[in-house]
Structure 1
Amino acid sequence: MAAVKTTVAAGDEKKPVATSSMHRILIMVGAAAGFVVIALGLGLGLGLGLKHHTLGGSTHSSSSATPTPTTVVASDTIQPWRRNTQDYNLDMNWNNTAAPTTRVYNWTLTEIQIAPDGVERTVLAINGMFPGPVVEVNVGDRILVNLTNHMSNATTMHWHGLYQNGTNWMDGVNSITQCGIPPNTSFLYNFTIENQYGTFWYHSHTKAQYTDGLVGPLIVHSPEEDPIRELYDYDQVVLVQDWYHDLSSALMEGYLASGNENTEPTPDNGLIQGTNYFDCSSYSSDSGYTCHDNSTRAKFPVTKNKRYRLRLINAGSFAEMIFSVDNHTLSVIEADGVLVEPVTVHRIPVNIAQRYSVIIEANQTSGNYWMRCQMNQFCFSQSNPVLDSNIEALVTYDNTTTEPAHSSDWLLMLQVSCIDLDPSLLVPYYVDPAPKATVQYIVEPSFQIGAYALDRGYFNSTTWVASSTPTVNLAVAGLQAGNSSFSTTGLSRAYDSHQFVLNVGGWEVVDLLINNLDEGSHPFHLHGYTFWVMAQSSTGVFDWNTYDSLNTTNPMRRDTIMINAYGWALIRFRADNPGIWALHCHISWHIEAGLLMQVQTRDDLMKDWTIPADVLALCEA
């Protein structure tokens, strides 16, 4: 075994350093009868500057007009809470062949009063800064994150897209893989990243806390990226998110109240690299908000004829972001940690929790151009009069803060459906054939109005409510005790009535058909796995007559997929990663409304687990 070198980062700073017979199972839970029928048949540095003197954030958002140049003022003051301007500009000299090391991060979570877009509010911060620091590692590295919670409420941290093979209890999902970390308590996340690389991110997975600021990028390097690495000269993370001027807890209370159907809170703004402009005149003097008309946009300096990899991360809670750079085409090279054959597009929809890497070439006339993240308002059930859905940052050849004079949005119409980039465009760079499925399941997410006129999310007829004891704790204890209810395949009877747990049991290749019965689109994320997208449609139902002709040669793989209203997707994964893994809509409002189920895999390995004492101790605090 190779020696492991330990590199300690002070604060948040990093220092280099055999197939079974096919059968289909349709899981249906009777809403009234409460029984289960199982029947056959069935993945550039930020500069802070652009202060607008004009009111109204959309004055330059026309796709065809050439705006009159407007002088803007750059701020020389970087607030102490704002993320360092160079943090998300990755080092091109990073050694991705270095021997495995241990990278240590010490994070303190606090509540701070700041104004990312000019509107003051409470933000959940890491080491007093927003957004979170970049975690940058190599495949094979061990990560230690010593997290101290000085917030008012318990919390957890999820490492989105990481397999956590053998460390299911480090997945960071409250009530599923751990109990929350109480206030004034520390907890050590300890895991190793193996067999994956690319663009990931981290966020709180307790209630809707990440909506309030607990987000950040996580980048994993590997020599396998070297061929793609030849295509760009600079490597830059671009973190985008929708933004609210109220705490998620207050908004959630109203959203989950009786009689509120389809009333997800609509964002007040959006941020790129944690900042954006907001028009303070949108609020009246008695609105209750304190707004400073000095908010700024992000700035990305570029050098003529250089090529830039932009690692796009949608860390938002509700909005699909349609990303583009005026006058510059995008070459897509990665989706959800999977390298793809380069494909050129003008715009790319980045749905919640998804990541794409695109390359832009700075080959235009020197000057300034708009980078755009346009919220797809067709995803929203209600409008917000203060929202300018066109979120912008500045791409500048001259490192200036002058408003663009010749920047033009693409003339193509924005998409009206809340769907992914055409999956037929994405071909994995490294071929990974999909094995033949050994078992099939069908699940049907929906929203239903139940008792007390409560609108809740369901998988079949189960709406998720957080368990008082994490389901992985219950599973390990039950398997070790020989309780057969914890090892019976299909819909598990071992948990309470609010836990929809699909127990795959032993090693299988699973086909999961997700039929979206809701009138809204949903970005579904499966923890612990990268799945093959075998088939997908925005309308209709899956035609089983086409099943034997599906592309198995090299279908796209990812961990988060958008399924359109009344659409469906057939995903496939090897159920080889032991644990209990959440499958849920990543709209933060919908998770808390119950749109979450769990997949239990490899009981044969779980029964021999010993959950670490510090993880178990969180449930005793």
Structure 2
Amino acid sequence: MPPNPSTSTRYAMLPTTDLQHAVDSIDSSDANAEKGAVDEETQSFWHRQMYRIVTAFSLLVVFAIALGMGVGLRGSSADATTTTTTTASSTATATAATATATETLVATSLESWRLDTASEYSIDMNWDSAAAPQTRYYNLTVSELEGAPDGFLRNMTVINGKFPGPLIEANEGDTLVITVINNGSTPTTMHWHGLFQNGTNYMDGVSYITQCVIPVGESFVYNFTLNDQYGTYWYHSHYKTQYSDGVVGPLIIHSSEEDDLVKDMYDYDQIVLIGDWYHAVAETYMADYLASGNENVEPVPDNGLINGASRFLCDKTPDDTCYDDEARNAVFHVEVDKTYRFRVINVGSFAEIDWSIDGHNLTLIEGDGTITVPYDYHKVRVGVAQRYSMLVHTNVSTDDGLFWMRAELNQYCFATTNSVLNSSVRGVVVYSTSLYAYTVGTLSKDLAPVTEAWDDVAANVLCLGLNDTIIEPMVVQAAPAASKFYRLDSSFQIKDYAIDLGYINNTNYKPLSSATLYEAYNMLSPDAYANVTDSNSSTLLSTSGVLPTGTFGGNKYQYVVNIPDYAVVDVLINNLDDGAHPFHLHGYKFWVMGWGSGNFKYDTYSDLNATNPMRRDTVVVRAYGWTIIRFIADNPGIWPFHCHITWHLEAGLLMQFEILPSAIAEFDPPEAWAQLCAASSS
């Protein structure tokens, strides 16, 4: 049996010199084949021959070791990145299983800035989801460093000195206390994507909306309880384009209810972060993107990553600093004839991604924290910020036990091309029966499976998300009849200085100098802070619908819909743009009532499916199309609704819902929250 993926340090067998030469010979042949230097038939032949030679030789080595040459098992624990009050580990128990008890193993080396996702993102199957609610503490330090996730060296912003960020793990009902320390060179905030934050809207982490920024050299403590939800989520910076530079990580909420629904379906549980990747700091693209005359031509990625790694061919940019030795694919070690739950999260900035494993069927069981009736795919298209859990049964055979895991960027969503782009990003799935199970660890630059991609397409060549109408939640919830209806026209418009900006109902969003919630709270609770001067709350308490321009700090670039009382709200998103938009609603999980191309036909409104539509927090609205979502306005706060493409959000494609302002007046935010805004205005 190969080393278990749940170990805190990956291990690889220490072969003899001759065995290493044999393995290097295979790896070199495979690398050339990947570049097209050897045709597939010839490569496959020699691959099989060398595999047999090395297998025979390795058996002799193991036999010799069994006669007394073995020296035991060595390893070191991974650096701790979080602190919790519980004895439940945030990673699985280290077990480092081996083929024989006497094999000699050495720890696989990783760069100091690279997180060992093979262990850190492997979820402990013995996690106690039925434990009594408790408080779990995490520390997240934001800083900057140079790294080369795909071999190309660039400046990055990371968490706890690692990329990607650490796993945050808790139970439904637990309280998270997360201290974010800003050791970077720019302000920051942290958003907990998909979490309801019911009663703690001020902990949602959206810069200039639910909080003021955390200044350089300062910290802020996020404190919130995880009520009424479970599943796969993630966290990321919500300050300008910062998350695109590496400030991302997974967040998993366990529950006994989820275990009862699906846990007996799988044997292992693994997180897979996928996303596009750029070779420059994201903010540096903004000047060209928002330049006069540029008609919403977004920056095209240079590559993509799987769990923070992939291969970039350095000879494409010979004048740049690129390290071929650090250009390595993520490796996923699997046992034979087991079922794996892969929690796939698109943490990218722009691209839709088709995720698949060659030769393996995918069974979808979760989307955005909603457990679904199992549905089979070959490829699953994941929009930016969306999450899907797929079950994969490891019962497919090849000569070498290797398979490509693919994350294919949908180039049809791009308005232009990038000559260096690697759109077919890959990882390697290594079966426990493969010799390579003992010779590779977390990453590999030379393994080249000979498997072929599925020849079907997740949706089609258009920019489309997964079809929500065929995804059925396992826990049935009928959507109640709507009592309010709002239409939001999403568009890009060229106005002053020939600059193309994002608009919702003809309003381009620009942030306040403080935060929308801070201003609203001051108006509604005038005695909360001594520096409050505006105590006029009548507008917020009485207006139903769009608030007057300039309600918050006189800023005319805020489109805010006020819902003062409990309501069931339908929102028609009408996309007037030639590109698709993954729209995310903070604080809520909504029903996807329907979608289509062209204009919505109002005479079909009564035909929308309300029986048990898909519930999620991020939905892809197709180009020149529409989507209707429905949510129950019962979670008080200021909640952004925006496109999650980094460039579109920075271009102003955002509006806000103010829900139950009378309840906002009863909020009790910590004084440190208000002090952030005081610091911003000083």
What TM-score, normalized by structure 1, do the two folds share? 0.89
Match of 1:483 among 519, 537, 548: 537
Q: Does the C-alpha gap of structure 1 residues 140 and 472 become closer, same or farther in structure 2, counting only changes over 3 Å?
A: same
Match of 2:670 among 612, 616, 620: 612
1:161 aligns with 2:184: no
Instruction: Identify which range, 165-174 or 119-128, moves more after superposition.
Output: 119-128
The 8 Å contact of residues 333 and 357 in structure 1, kept in 2 or not, is answered as yes
Q: Does the C-alpha gap of structure 1 residues 291 and 194 become closer, same or farther in structure 2, counting only changes over 3 Å?
A: same
Q: Does the C-alpha gap of structure 1 residues 63 and 271 become closer, same or farther in structure 2, counting only changes over 3 Å?
A: farther
1:176 aligns with 2:209: yes
Match of 1:528 among 579, 587, 594: 587
Instruction: State the partner residue of 2:455.
Output: 411
The 8 Å contact of residues 45 and 300 in structure 1, kept in 2 or not, is answered as no
How far has the Cα of 1:599 moved from its partner? Answer: 0.6
Q: Which amino acid aligns with 1:388?
A: N
Instruction: State the partner residue of 2:71.
Output: none
Instruction: State the partner residue of 1:519.
Output: 578
3-state DSSP of counterpart to 2:120: coil
1:232 aligns with 2:266: yes
Instruction: State the partner residue of 2:333.
Output: 301
Q: Which amino acid aligns with 2:540?
A: F
Instruction: State the partner residue of 2:226.
Output: 193
1:336 aligns with 2:368: yes
How far has the Cα of 1:406 moved from its partner? Answer: 4.3
Which whole-Å CA distance do the structure 1 matches of 2:651 and 2:45 have between them?
47
Instruction: State the partner residue of 1:563.
Output: 621
Instruction: State the partner residue of 1:22.
Output: none
How far has the Cα of 1:289 moved from its partner? Answer: 3.7
Q: Does the C-alpha gap of structure 1 residues 303 and 62 become closer, same or farther in structure 2, counting only changes over 3 Å?
A: farther
Match of 2:109 among 69, 74, 77: 77
Instruction: State the partner residue of 2:159.
Output: 126
Ranges of 4+ aligned residues in structure 1 off by more than 3 Å: 44-72, 288-294, 400-406
Match of 1:216 among 249, 252, 264: 249
| Aligned pairs (5 A) from 1:42-61 | 44=5, 54=31, 59=36
3-state DSSP of counterpart to 1:444: strand
How far has the Cα of 1:540 moved from its partner? Answer: 1.8
CA deviation profile, 1:71-107 (whole Å, cap 9, x unmatched): 99x9932112111230000000000000011110112
The 8 Å contact of residues 63 and 409 in structure 1, kept in 2 or not, is answered as no
Which whole-Å CA distance do the structure 2 matches of 1:416 and 1:592 have between them?
26
The 8 Å contact of residues 575 and 624 in structure 2, kept in 1 or not, is answered as yes
The 8 Å contact of residues 333 and 340 in structure 1, kept in 2 or not, is answered as yes
How far has the Cα of 1:45 moved from its partner? Answer: 5.5
The 8 Å contact of residues 139 and 221 in structure 1, kept in 2 or not, is answered as yes
1:435 aligns with 2:480: yes
How far has the Cα of 1:294 moved from its partner? Answer: 3.8
CA deviation profile, 1:489-527 (whole Å, cap 9, x unmatched): 111112321111111111100000000011111000000
How far has the Cα of 1:611 moved from its partner? Answer: 3.0
Match of 1:101 among 110, 114, 134: 134
Which whole-Å CA distance do the structure 1 matches of 2:344 and 2:133 have between them?
27
3-state DSSP of counterpart to 2:279: coil
How far has the Cα of 1:442 moved from its partner? Answer: 0.4
Which whole-Å CA distance do the structure 2 matches of 1:61 and 1:134 have between them?
40
CA deviation profile, 1:171-220 (whole Å, cap 9, x unmatched): 00000001110000011011111000000000000001000000000000
Which whole-Å CA distance do the structure 2 matches of 1:272 and 1:61 have between them?
26
Which whole-Å CA distance do the structure 2 matches of 1:95 and 1:249 have between them?
42
Instruction: State the partner residue of 2:313.
Output: 279
RCO (CA 8 Å, sep 6+): is it higher in 1 or 2? 1
3-state DSSP of counterpart to 2:265: coil
How far has the Cα of 1:67 moved from its partner? Answer: 5.5
How far has the Cα of 1:577 moved from its partner? Answer: 0.3
The 8 Å contact of residues 321 and 351 in structure 1, kept in 2 or not, is answered as yes
1:460 aligns with 2:505: yes
**Unaligned residue ranges in structure 2 (runs of 5+):** 13-23, 52-105, 441-445, 526-534
Which whole-Å CA distance do the structure 2 matches of 1:68 and 1:569 have between them?
51
How far has the Cα of 1:290 moved from its partner? Answer: 3.9
1:384 aligns with 2:443: no
CA deviation profile, 1:558-577 (whole Å, cap 9, x unmatched): 00000111110000000000
Q: Does the C-alpha gap of structure 1 residues 58 and 409 become closer, same or farther in structure 2, counting only changes over 3 Å?
A: farther
Which whole-Å CA distance do the structure 1 matches of 2:115 and 2:383 have between them?
24
Which whole-Å CA distance do the structure 2 matches of 1:299 and 1:419 have between them?
29
Instruction: Identify which range, 301-310 or 74-83, moves more after superposition.
Output: 74-83
The 8 Å contact of residues 404 and 449 in structure 2, kept in 1 or not, is answered as no
Q: Which amino acid aligns with 1:518?
A: D
Q: How many residues align?
A: 575
Q: Does the C-alpha gap of structure 1 residues 504 and 69 become closer, same or farther in structure 2, counting only changes over 3 Å?
A: farther
Instruction: State the partner residue of 1:241.
Output: 275
Q: Does the C-alpha gap of structure 1 residues 125 and 306 become closer, same or farther in structure 2, counting only changes over 3 Å?
A: same
The 8 Å contact of residues 469 and 594 in structure 2, kept in 1 or not, is answered as no
Q: Which amino acid aligns with 1:179?
A: C
Q: Which amino acid aligns with 2:539?
A: S
Which whole-Å CA distance do the structure 2 matches of 1:483 and 1:370 have between them?
59
Instruction: State the partner residue of 1:207.
Output: 240
What is the RMSD of the two structures over their aligned residues, measured on CA atoms? Answer: 2.5
The 8 Å contact of residues 369 and 394 in structure 1, kept in 2 or not, is answered as yes
Q: Does the C-alpha gap of structure 1 residues 174 and 293 become closer, same or farther in structure 2, counting only changes over 3 Å?
A: same
3-state DSSP of counterpart to 1:305: coil
How far has the Cα of 1:221 moved from its partner? Answer: 0.4
Match of 2:404 among 337, 353, 370: 370
How far has the Cα of 1:413 moved from its partner? Answer: 4.1
Which whole-Å CA distance do the structure 1 matches of 2:271 and 2:671 have between them?
36
Match of 1:504 among 563, 578, 587: 563
The 8 Å contact of residues 379 and 457 in structure 2, kept in 1 or not, is answered as no
3-state DSSP of counterpart to 1:284: coil
Match of 1:420 among 461, 465, 490: 465
CA deviation profile, 1:447-495 (whole Å, cap 9, x unmatched): 0011111110000110011111211111122233343222311111123
The 8 Å contact of residues 64 and 409 in structure 1, kept in 2 or not, is answered as no
Instruction: State the partner residue of 2:652.
Output: 594
Which whole-Å CA distance do the structure 1 matches of 2:181 and 2:376 have between them?
43
Which whole-Å CA distance do the structure 1 matches of 2:38 and 2:309 have between them?
18
The 8 Å contact of residues 584 and 595 in structure 1, kept in 2 or not, is answered as yes
The 8 Å contact of residues 66 and 407 in structure 1, kept in 2 or not, is answered as no
3-state DSSP of counterpart to 1:251: helix
Q: Does the C-alpha gap of structure 1 residues 255 and 291 become closer, same or farther in structure 2, counting only changes over 3 Å?
A: farther
Which whole-Å CA distance do the structure 2 matches of 1:318 and 1:144 have between them?
31
Q: Does the C-alpha gap of structure 1 residues 171 and 69 become closer, same or farther in structure 2, counting only changes over 3 Å?
A: farther
The 8 Å contact of residues 237 and 312 in structure 1, kept in 2 or not, is answered as yes
Instruction: State the partner residue of 1:572.
Output: 630
Identity of aligned residues (%): 46
How far has the Cα of 1:152 moved from its partner? Answer: 0.3
The 8 Å contact of residues 368 and 396 in structure 1, kept in 2 or not, is answered as yes
Q: Does the C-alpha gap of structure 1 residues 56 and 68 become closer, same or farther in structure 2, counting only changes over 3 Å?
A: closer
CA deviation profile, 1:226-278 (whole Å, cap 9, x unmatched): 22111000000000111111001111222112221122110111110101111
CA deviation profile, 1:532-570 (whole Å, cap 9, x unmatched): 001111x12222222223221211100000011111000
Instruction: State the partner residue of 1:29.
Output: none
Q: Which amino acid aligns with 1:599?
A: F
The 8 Å contact of residues 148 and 326 in structure 2, kept in 1 or not, is answered as no
3-state DSSP of counterpart to 1:86: helix
The 8 Å contact of residues 313 and 324 in structure 2, kept in 1 or not, is answered as no
Instruction: State the partner residue of 1:549.
Output: 607
What TM-score, normalized by structure 2, do the two folds share? 0.81
CA deviation profile, 1:295-332 (whole Å, cap 9, x unmatched): 11000011110000000000000010100100000000
